[in-house]
Homo-oligomer: A and B are copies of this chain.
Amino acid sequence: MSGDEPRRRRGRRPGHSGSRDAILAAARAAFARDAYAGASLRAIARDADVDPALISHYFGSKAGLFIAATDWPFDPDEGHRATLAGGRDDVGRRLAEFFFGTWSVPEKRISVLGLLQTAFTDPTVAAMLREFFVDEVFEPLLTRLGADQVALRSGLLASQLHGVILSRYVLDLLSQEAFDDATVIDAIAPTLQRYAVGPLTG
């Protein structure tokens, strides 16, 4: 494993699994303290006593570090590719399909459900989720689509998808027993399509 890791620097931990764990622990503390946008990779490296290059080496990016630190269930880049693969007219359906592809797997729901519950009473966790959804999930997608009113469209997309989380996986309204994923995808795809690139007034 050590062969593809950065050289050891004076006074810092060498690149072994202990340093990966130290980075994750420091990242969790930083995200809990400074939310997502405010967390600094440099400070995380310092707290973990590693070279900042080791974070890139292990996790690629701040988003990659967040995904590993929170056990996040999907990679936004993968979501963007899947959502855009059918072209502009198929964005709503592809986004719904990608969403259900992730959320239909029970063990993938645990981390986000726990964070969402905590967000009701912890403003820093709410900010962390908001910043990750905006900065890494919805705004990059909408920017690639050349959409206007990106902040409003981000919030609207989030509202429909978060509503499915709450209704289907928490309250058991729109229940999995009664309605299969395809039925819900059919119903919400036109909503997501309009929120992404359609008219925002009735």
Contact = CB atoms under 8 A, between A and B. Distances in A.
Interface string A113-157: 110110111000011011001100000000000000001101110
A173 interface: yes
A195 B202 contact: no
B159 A188 contact: yes
Contacts of A160: 159-160, 163, 191
Interface string A4-24: 000000000000000000000
B119 A171 contact: yes
Interface stretch (A43-51, A75-83, A175-183): A175-183
A152 B187 contact: yes
Tell me the dominant secondary structure on chain A's binding face. helix
Contacts of A121: 117
A161 B173 CA distance: 12
A32 to B, nearest CB: 16
B158 A167 contact: yes
Contacts of A167: 155, 158-159, 162
A193 to B, nearest CB: 7
A164 B173 contact: no
Interface in A181-202: 183-184, 186-191, 193-195, 200-202
Q: 3 smallest A-B Cβ distances: which pairs?
A: A163-B163, A155-B174, A159-B163
